[in-house]
Amino acid sequence: MLFAVGLLASGLASASVGAYAGAMIMQGLLHWSVPMLVRRFITLCPAVAILAMGFDPTRTLVLSQVVLSFGIPFAVLPLVRLTSNSEVMGSDINHRVTTVVGWVVAVMISLLNVVLIYLTVTG
The reported pLDDT for the residue numbered 32 is 77
* CA distance linking residue 28 with residue 84, whole number of Å: 28
Give per-residue pLDDT as tens, 39-90: 778 878 888 898 899 988 888 888 888 888 888 888 889 999 999 999 989 9
Instruction: Judge whether 106 and 73 are in contact, CB under 8 Å.
Output: yes
Q: Pick the closest to residue 14 from 59, 46, 57, 54 (CA basis).
A: 46
* CA distance linking residue 16 with residue 29, whole number of Å: 20
The reported pLDDT for the residue numbered 102 is 94
